[in-house]
Chain A
């Protein structure tokens, strides 16, 4: 009996510990939220003091100014934080509404700016009222958010703190598993104890008498019919799996190599809704979809040097993404500080994901421009892919299937007019599949 008691006490201790852990984790979360709220309140207060609504200013800034200005670093135009202290308010009103006129009038401050940033001409914003400008300036006057202490804490405790949501679940699951394990052990122990008690009390077990029966495997082995049937099934099963294995050789579905720059299609195509063909422009006219050259990246990344905090995920932090953008700058030779190209480039060696064999001819423009097929049809939900992978098997059977099932988009294309008329008469259908157009012929893809 002693033993049993002791086990119970152990379990109890564990239970209490578990409960404590839950408590602790939830309180951590709460503290975080509070800290954020305090921060926001502090900023608002600072802005209000400068006259003007920084929240409204932020919206305006993002609408009108952000294309050329950043608060903290020079872009096309100068960095704007604290601009309200550098210039007279009236001067700023006038400048923003029509900078060119000021430069022409020979205003020394205006000319100084022009000298520094020419030939970039600042757009005139006559539509902005003085209040608007006040709001914007209020936004720019907000003190720079120093990297928060909380951030540091998060970064430091990444292994532990990072598990706030993820490991929470795991802990619960582990605990449950432990509980079940204990229950099983307990069951055995209880059973054993009961049996011992029964034995002590002289209760007889009705032990099933062991007949001298043939072991089942021996019986099986002696039944030839069963053996043959089983062998056949085993062979068929083996053949099935062997076939399955052989057929996947060379099929790289799901191939997800590590790329030299962690480029997230989720962020670009998903969150930011960038059209696929903005970057993969040659897919419109060429057989290749084309891996965008780095100058295409720089169209946007000249001004986007970092991701917004919301972009970061549990798996990839903001610092990680910002680091990847820095890799781009290094490759393309962009000096962020001086906003100029250094000329030292390092072409990026991407790992090619979709590899068709040389003897298969595939033309993107045929499918993208002529047929109007969405990229996702073959490439899958790219906009959700953090890391790009091969969605489709890219086997011939897969191609052929689609050619059999897909109707060719012929409306409004003068090329198809005659052939559509003739073929639909021949087959007696209105819609023609690629196969009916001759899309299954060997020579259409193999030459």
Chain B
């Protein structure tokens, strides 16, 4: 029955001679299959000698070899010490108190070492002054293990011996002396009594020695102002916890303004206690951390800030100042002045304007107010850079007057605006030596590169502020053949002592005055304030009198009026550029640190980049845009930024809500190239625009072609009126109304009755009253968004760095993120009202659309979010292999070795805190960060597993730390005191926003916080019953 029918595919087949039909019959495919295209490069394929058979042989062999190798476990070697140091017990951490003083960051810290390796920076909580490490300080431990560190002294690209370097430099200095040329020491701010003494010794030994201090990010104006007002070149200190009203004119004091470190004091005053909290008014152009935390933020261009400051002084003192301000700003200034006046000595005024007049006005105001928060008697010494001397030095170098140049802790070839002139000058210096840990831009041009040790390998001391000292001690033996500047200086002046001995002598003679050196070294800090209070006061007297002398009153008043006129005169024409430093990058000396590169900026939430921030209005005017692309990534336009003839081309643009119209911002510290891994060479060098060490520059911005791909971790910026995520209220309502009004508890209907959502439960409650029950409280009032916790978590938990491309795909691995929300109305409250007021589908669609964009000057709120450790965890119920489960102590456990990577848990998590290992991030050349080299791996915490590809991970509430605390108590047979339980983030939080502890200990701080009226859970209505809770944010919006 077989059919003999023949089916024709086309009419052409009827013609047997048709060539097309013939070809088609022989060829299955009409067109040649583009094999080359998917097999890659044809050329290399052709040139390859590997045949198919060879390939199969290789595959067969390697499979067989792999399976054979798998039969036998690897032989592991254990090599104990030959002579074990007394204090090192394998598996037990040692802590050393030391101080970081790298010229930009100054802090007293504790270093955790394991088996002799520093692995983590912790806050030194015992110190009176100088504690509180920021994100960069927390990340500094990774710099120690930078694989690109200099391994020994170099000259002309070759490693040389220290003797050769010594001989070269000494002969250079002698020759300079003989030729009557200068010997210049160009250094960072050391603020070190011993270095001061050492340099004096150098000046004695060699004639014509000059010491020039250079801060990459200059505080010259503030220093100069303080010198004119109080007689010494230093910076006034502020304790914001004592201030009830804080007015800031462009001072980002929660950032790096005047050396930073003010946030813990500030946070103390922000927590409403007895119905009171501080009031913070911020006039600024860039959206800074301080502005984001302010109760009232007024966006103002720098030139307007000057006028505002002048006006403010006028309103405060009753003198009339002729300056024109828009009416609403004038009102704001007037109100601020009124509030300051009312608060009197409880107020403080600060300014970040790089202008001596502005700084002097601010100092005068504080002095006249007799501000309690203001301290000029014990000024800070952590910035001493002298801009004029640096400029003079460059001139001298070019004039050939410098015979020898010794540099330490500075990188002028990168940080100077006119680095070309410096490089030219450097060529005319006979002998130059750069002390550095990296072959940076300056070192490459110097005659000698002296390999300096990392601060964790060095000795040192620092005087943070008058009478408050810190000591730096090595926490590990030098990894490489390095020597610090101080040791070299001792050699060069012919002193055979070692620097530690010299240091000890300096301290015993000048500082300790009989107090124990060992105790000081153990504590890491020493202050002689309590012991010698009167003496110091007496010393200070003449200096203070300079400004307050009777005869000078008149001239002082005249001076003030001229200063005010000078301030008010300033005309802001065109765009103004405000250069700032990012919380994560600082002055850029840690640019090769992958933790910091991946750290998202607290405000823009962009990592791995710098960019210019422009206001929405300006962006629209110039046609600059930001948009999201299909994979979720943020893209932006490019702009050419020109200052004083210098153009930075193709700088990406971020449209920044709150940016003052007429101003753009740009972060310093990026765009470094020398001594950097290729992935870390990101951004543009804004120092090239930093003319005259002034952070404000006249600028022209032009749109450029192309689009930039950002790695931004937060793509949705507004809260959309979801007031239950960040609960916010005003101090007025907080003080006057019941907590249920401002801390609304979600309701659900149970048996047709509205009841609190938290009372309804599908599950049987597990008994958690026995043993420990860990909870974490996060106070949104105290959190400044500084991000120290993010880096601390990174370091503690071996969180991998994934790189820019992966962050862009939202595959960042941070266990702890700090969400930043803008309000779409002027305030978050306005958002809530807008949302409530919607009616109908059409309205809600359009209104929600509008709410996606932030206001021109929005309110900002920060919210640290980590795994909430839900008692009824949605992730646990969906895991098919029970890899995530709940512990009785309240922690949601994650057994990595059990996880098969279905990612159901991440999908079911309402908080989106679970992170998936898309790749193997260690030992992988595709991710060439610290976990890819032996040196970088030394920073890993041996108590925490390094996760492999294909497993889910998330915050564990630092279970390794809680378990350690419990074990220590068990071993010592004692109960655990409140405060002993800490997570990495709570320990790193110097502002006290994150509090961790055991709520079964009814006396604990966290148990009390849980009972606080401000307490709420994130997404309470979901019923997850988290063990992390938040405290309602209260804003002091009351105008005077």
Contact = CB atoms under 8 A, between A and B. Distances in A.
Contact of B895 (A293, A294, A419, A442): A442
Contacts of A292: 80
A237 to B, nearest CB: 23
A352 B84 contact: no
A198 interface: no
B771 interface: yes
A348 to B, nearest CB: 7
A282 B888 contact: no
B79 A282 contact: no
Contacts of B966: 415
B170 interface: no
Q: Chain B interface: which size bin?
A: 35 or more
B770 interface: yes
A252 B953 CA distance: 29
B81 A366 contact: no
Nearest to A251: B73
A347 interface: yes
B944 interface: yes
A359 B951 CA distance: 12
A291 B897 contact: no
A282 B894 contact: no
Interface string A338-352: 000000010111111
Contacts of A423: 770-771
B275 interface: no
Contact of B971 (A285, A291, A351, A438): A285
Given A331-B82, A369-B971, A443-B891, A352 B76 contact: yes
B79 A415 contact: no
A351 B77 contact: yes
Nearest to A333: B82
B89 interface: yes
Contacts of A358: 945-946
Contact of B888 (A290, A369, A441, A447): A441
Contacts of B895: 359, 442-443, 446
B91 A286 contact: yes
Contact of A416 (B90, B896, B970): B970
B360 to A, nearest CB: 55
Contacts of B80: 290-294, 347-348, 350
B945 A415 contact: no
B839 interface: no
B880 interface: no
Given A285-B92, A350-B78, A438-B887, A419 B770 contact: yes
Nearest to A364: B91
B77 to A, nearest CB: 5
Given A359-B896, A359-B897, A447-B956, A286 B81 contact: no
B969 A415 contact: yes
A441 B967 contact: no
B967 A286 contact: no
B898 A414 contact: no
B197 to A, nearest CB: 36
A250 interface: yes
Contacts of B943: 287, 361, 447
Contacts of B898: 442, 446
A428 interface: no
Given A290-B89, A352-B76, A295 B971 contact: no
A426 B770 contact: yes
A441 B973 contact: no
Interface string A70-89: 00000000000000000000
Contact of A293 (B81, B960, B976): B81
Given A351-B75, A438-B888, A415 B974 contact: yes
Interface string A193-228: 000000000000000000000000000000000000
A355 interface: yes
Interface in B64-97: 73, 75-84, 89-92
Contact of B77 (A295, A352, A422): A352
A418 interface: yes
Nearest to A438: B888
B977 to A, nearest CB: 12
A332 B896 CA distance: 41
B967 A282 contact: no
A444 interface: yes
B92 A282 contact: yes
A447 B885 contact: no
Interface string A422-447: 11001000000000011001111011
Interface in A282-310: 282, 285-288, 290-296
A140 interface: no
B274 interface: no
B954 to A, nearest CB: 11
Interface string A112-123: 000000000000
Nearest to B972: A415
Interface in B966-997: 966-967, 969-971, 973-976
Interface in A378-437: 412-419, 422-423, 426, 437
Nearest to B897: A359
A417 B969 CA distance: 12
A419 B79 contact: no
Interface string B95-123: 00000000000000000000000000000
A416 B772 CA distance: 12
Given A361-B943, A438-B888, A441-B887, A426 B767 contact: yes
Contacts of B974: 414-415
A245 to B, nearest CB: 12
A345 B79 contact: no
B319 interface: no
B82 A370 contact: no
A355 B81 CA distance: 19
Contacts of A422: 769-771
B889 interface: yes
A412 B973 contact: yes
A166 interface: no
Contacts of A426: 767, 770
Which residue, of A333, A365, A441, A442, has the highest number of chain B Cβ atoms within 10 A? A442
Contacts of A441: 885, 887-888, 893
A257 interface: yes
B799 to A, nearest CB: 13
B90 A350 contact: no
Contact of A366 (B771, B887, B893, B967): B967
A159 interface: no
Contact of A447 (B76, B77, B945): B945
Contacts of B893: 441-443, 446-447
A412 B959 CA distance: 26
Contacts of B508: none
Contact of B967 (A250, A281, A332, A365): A365
Given A441-B885, A444-B887, A293 B84 contact: yes
A211 B756 CA distance: 93
B88 to A, nearest CB: 9
A443 B973 contact: no
Given A442-B895, A446-B893, A359 B945 contact: yes
B868 to A, nearest CB: 16
The 7 A-B residue pairs with the shortest CB-CB distance, nearest first, are A443-B893, A286-B91, A293-B84, A288-B91, A293-B81, A352-B76, A287-B91
25 contacts: A252-B73, A286-B89, A286-B90, A288-B91, A290-B80, A291-B78, A293-B84, A295-B81, A347-B79, A347-B82, A350-B80, A351-B76, A359-B945, A360-B897, A361-B963, A366-B967, A370-B971, A412-B973, A438-B887, A441-B885, A441-B887, A441-B893, A443-B885, A443-B887, A447-B893
Interface of A: 250, 252, 257, 281-282, 285-288, 290-296, 331-333, 345, 347-352, 355, 357-361, 363, 365-366, 369-370, 412-419, 422-423, 426, 437-438, 441-444, 446-447
Given A352-B78, A443-B893, 6 more contacts: A285-B89, A285-B971, A288-B91, A347-B80, A413-B973, A442-B887
